[in-house]
Amino acid sequence: MTISRNKLVGLLTAIFGCVFIALAISPYDRGDWALENVLVVFFALALGLSYKSFPLSRLSYVCIFLFLILHEIGAHNTYAKVPYDAFLIRTFGFSLNDLMGWDRNHFDRLVHFLFGVLFAYPIRELYCRLAGAKGFWAYFFPIEMVMASSMIFELFEWGAASFFGGDLGVAYLGTQGDVWDAHKDMALASLGAFLAMAAVFVINMKTQGDFWQEWKSSLSVKAKDVAGV
């Protein structure tokens, strides 16, 4: 039997609350932790306030939950110092950084990639249910929105780092000396969204009876008159 949406959301909220509180205790850098969680607080409030009037699917809530858990791990340690390699060495006896030839901490890269993977589906749900997106547009717009939101976050990150400056600004920006850090983060988020939508595309192509008819209709001209002057 599948768990109801209310029970699932309650369970995910309780788990996330416990993780949030646990990781709020003695973070590596309290100032950076606070900055990292500003958007999380507003986003969580938006989800809670909209739950009754516009609940999302269970899959969307699971995707959002997984991303927020990863984000809290990054916020607790600062993204540049998440000890994933030390964990792998201690638990499995091998170093991922040595195996891949990495000389930097790549946890931030992983989370940006997974932002695309995990947020593309909830964004697609919003486009389909609010804007009536169908066919091609139901796959294109989520990728585009992930790209846009990733860019907006990089601008927010830059602005906050410039405003606060010093060690806090460096910790929040997390470039680790890479001048192309923001570009790579946006590229990885875009790749993640593309792969997520590609998977949804294949699934729907195999299970949706009118898939190609809807796809063709979405690319047909709806209004022959020119809009505007």
Please state the separation of Cα 21 from the chain's center in Å.
21
pLDDT (0 to 100) of residue 149: 96
Residue 89 has pLDDT above 90, yes or no: yes
pLDDT (0 to 100) of residue 76: 96
> How far is residue 12's CA from residue 7's CA, in Å, rounded to a whole number?
9
pLDDT in tens, 151-182: 999 898 888 888 887 878 777 777 777 888 89
Contact in structure between 117 and 196 (CB atoms under 8 Å): yes
pLDDT (0 to 100) of residue 113: 97
Q: What is the mean pLDDT of the chain?
A: 93
pLDDT (0 to 100) of residue 121: 98
Mean pLDDT of 42-68: 96
pLDDT (0 to 100) of residue 217: 96
The candidate with the shortest Cα–Cα distance to 54, out of 129, 127, 133, is 129
pLDDT (0 to 100) of residue 193: 98
pLDDT in tens, 119-136: 999 999 999 999 999 999
Mean pLDDT of 102-120: 95
pLDDT-derived band at 1, boundaries 50, 70, 90:
low
Query: CA quadruple 131, 134, 137, 140: dihedral positive or negative?
Result: positive
State what percent of residues in the chain have pLDDT above 90: 79
* pTM for this entry: 0.92
pLDDT (0 to 100) of residue 84: 93
